[in-house]
Structures are given as structure tokens and as C-alpha cells.
Amino acid sequence: MGAPRGLVALTRGDPSGIGPELALKAWAALRADATAPAFFIIAECDYLQNLSRRFGLDVPLATVAPSEAAAAFPRALPVVGPQRGVAGALGVPDVADAAATVASIETAVELVHSGAADALVTNPIAKEVLQRAGFAHPGHTEFLGELALRFYGRKARPVMLLWSPTLAVVPATIHVPLAKVPQLITRDLLIQTGEIVNADFKCRFGLAAPRLVFSGLNPHAGEAGHMGREEIEIIAPAIAALREAGIDARGPYPADTLFHAAAREKYDVAICMYHDQALIPIKTLAFDNAVNVTLGLPFVRTSPDHGTAFDIAAKGTADPTSLIAALRLAGKLAKTDA
């Protein structure tokens, strides 16, 4: 029998970063809120208890089975997972923690697949630390695509969405050097991205006819070919193909005029050509409440829109707003995904 709708599995992230602290603060903020999803964290209970004491948070914890998490949530932060210990210190990550960080993600996906949880929220990881331990993926998004195949037997094409009530953006290319972007932008890539965004905005965000806009790659969207021909030869034909398939897709538009208030009223999501073209505007407009959502997966995954913040991890001053938003959105999307 599956878990109550909206029960969220939260990974620990890098234990030397702010993720565990944020989990404690998020539980304190949501425990009595009947509109918020219950969640459990896959982490080391002793480590969390020590953090709670260190930062004066006074958060009770309960080591539970996933099936017990929803009932435990009002009285304590439910903790699921092994007691491996943590090698790193706050603000000073250790490669010895990498295996447990990866295992937390794998366990969370397995629990969602089994029905023990309804959605997954991932705390921030330190990609460089994981890669030194042999992690073969650029980041969470790509790894979750592999886990979709492993647990669901379904090949997935993950698409990164950054969502907030103010703005939603998708980078068509993600963690790649800027110099490689023009070669990676293809008609097929943009069509597939548009199709996945359209499908998930329909089935998970509940929009009957999502409005998609595409940015150009070049300044002024190429200015009729005078500053590049990608808009003419690649982006516009992809948009035309999407429109022929019945998807409300428009563009390409100059990126420098796509994100002001009047422009944002005319679309539901902007598909941009590269990482910073998408993430700079949303982190400027909605830094504290933006949520990272992975589209194209057979399960719901969200995460806070920030990193490990090693520089403040030992201070106890981390703001849980983005994690709380990620938990709320995961619970909401899980219900529409039922």
C-alpha cells in the first residue's frame, strides 16, 4: 500500500553544506502546517541531532521506517537511513562522504518507485567532491535520468526547470562549457525539450495549454542573421515543428527583453539556450523562493535553487525558504501526478 499522497523523501545532500541544517529548519516551519506535505530525510540521525544542538534549533528526531514517517512527522523530524557517520566538517567537505551522499539519492528514488514516498526533494550536493570519488555525472539532473532507467526500466530525457511564482525557465543545455553550446543546440534537442516541457506543464502543473517561448542564442536573436544564423536555421524551425504538433510555442525572442514584467505575463515558461541565460533572470527575480524541478522523469523531483553554501555552513544562518518551497511544490506535484 502506498504512502499518503504528498509524503516526500528528502536526501541529505553534502553533509558539510547547509542541507541538513535546512532540513531541521524546514521541519520546524512545516510541522504544524496542515497544508504542507510531510517529509522524511535520508541521513544520519546522530549527525542531525548534533547539528540541532549546535545551532540551538531544538528539533526532535525519530528514526523510523518510511511507512511510519507520516505519523511521526507532527512530533519529530522522521529520519530514514544508515548510520555511517560523517567524515567532513561543516564548511569542509570530505570525499569520504561521497558514497553516502550518492546512496541517499539512490535510496530516495527507490522509495518513490516502491510507493513508500510520493516525491523526491534533493538537498544540494558538491559535484566536484562527488566527481573526485568517481561520480560520472555532471550533476543531479543527469544522475536522476540514469536512476529512472535503473528503477523504472524507462529511458528518460531529464529537463531542468527553474520554477517560481514569478518566472519559470528551462535551459536547453545545462552543465556544459559555453563554447560548446552552439554545437549542442539542435533542432531535435529543442523539439524534445519543448515536448517534455509541454507534457509536464499539462499533467503536473495542470495547465491545459502551456505557453512556451524560446529565447535566441545570439544578441538580438541574431538580428535577421547579421549576428548568427542559429535562430534562422535551428531555433525557428524547431518552434515551427512544435506549433505543427499543436504546442503553443513562440519565438525566438531576444533574451534581453524576455524577462521584464510585461513580457512575463505573455508566457508560462521560457526555454533558453544555455545555463546562465535561464538562471540569471530567475535568481535575480526569485532567489529565495525558486525551485529546481526535473521534468521528463517518471517521478516528481524538486530541489532548492541554491548550492551547498560551504562558506556559511558552520554559522547556522542558512535560510530554508527555497527548501520549504521545494517541499511544498513536490507535495503539490505529487498529488497532480497521482
Residues 120-134: tens digit of each pLDDT: 999 999 989 999 989
> Are 253 and 333 contained in the same domain?
no
> Are 266 and 293 contained in the same domain?
no
CATH number at residue 125: 3.40.718.10
> Are 236 and 138 contained in the same domain?
no
> Are 202 and 152 contained in the same domain?
no
Q: Is position 161 within any domain?
A: no
> Are 124 and 13 contained in the same domain?
yes
Averaged pLDDT for residues 45-66: 95
Q: Is position 189 within any domain?
A: yes
Q: Is position 272 within any domain?
A: yes
Distance between first and last Cα of the chain: 14
Specify the number of domains making up the chain: 2
> Are 171 and 279 contained in the same domain?
yes
> Are 275 and 211 contained in the same domain?
yes
Averaged pLDDT for residues 43-55: 95
**pLDDT given at position 280:** 96
Of 243, 266, 285, the one marking the end of a domain is: 285
Of 269, 285, 301, the one marking the end of a domain is: 285
> Are 133 and 210 contained in the same domain?
no
* Ramachandran bin of 276, using left for φ above 0, alpha for ψ from -120 to 50, beta for the remaining angles: alpha
Q: Is position 79 within any domain?
A: yes
> Are 269 and 241 contained in the same domain?
yes
> Are 279 and 147 contained in the same domain?
no
Given a contact cutoff of 8 angstroms between Cβ atoms, the answer to whether 49 and 24 are in contact is no
**pLDDT given at position 337:** 61
**pLDDT given at position 34:** 86
Query: Does the pLDDT value for residue 110 go beyond 70?
Result: yes
Domain carrying residue 260: 166-285
Query: Does the pLDDT value for residue 2 go beyond 80?
Result: no
3-state secondary structure the chain: CCCCCCCEEEECCCCCCCHHHHHHHHHHHHCCCCCCCCEEEECCHHHHHHHHHHCCCCCCEEECCHHHHHHHCCCCEEEECCCCCCCCECCECCHHHHHHHHHHHHHHHHHHHHCCCCEEECCCCCHHHHHHCCCCCCCHHHHHHHHHHHHHCCCCCCEEEEECCCCEEEECCCCCCHHHHHHHCCHHHHHHHHHHHHHHHHHCCCCCCCEEEEECCCHHHHCCCCCCCHHHHHHHHHHHHHHHCCCEEEEEECHHHCCCHHHHCCCCEEEECCHHHHHHHHHHHCCCCCEEEEECCCCCEEEECCCCCHHHCCCCCCCCHHHHHHHHHHHHHHHHCC
Query: Does the pLDDT value for residue 3 go beyond 50?
Result: no
Closest by CA position to 42, among listed 93, 85, 78, 2: 78
**pLDDT given at position 338:** 53
Q: Is position 120 within any domain?
A: yes
The structure's pTM equals 0.91
pLDDT digits (tens, 9 = 90+) for 142-159: 899 999 999 999 889 999
Of 257, 285, 313, the one marking the end of a domain is: 285
* Cα 237–chain centre separation: 29
> Are 82 and 146 contained in the same domain?
yes
Averaged pLDDT for residues 96-101: 93
Q: Is position 200 within any domain?
A: yes
Rounded CA-CA distance 233/216 in Å is 12
Q: Is position 48 within any domain?
A: yes
Q: Is position 191 within any domain?
A: yes
> Are 32 and 147 contained in the same domain?
yes
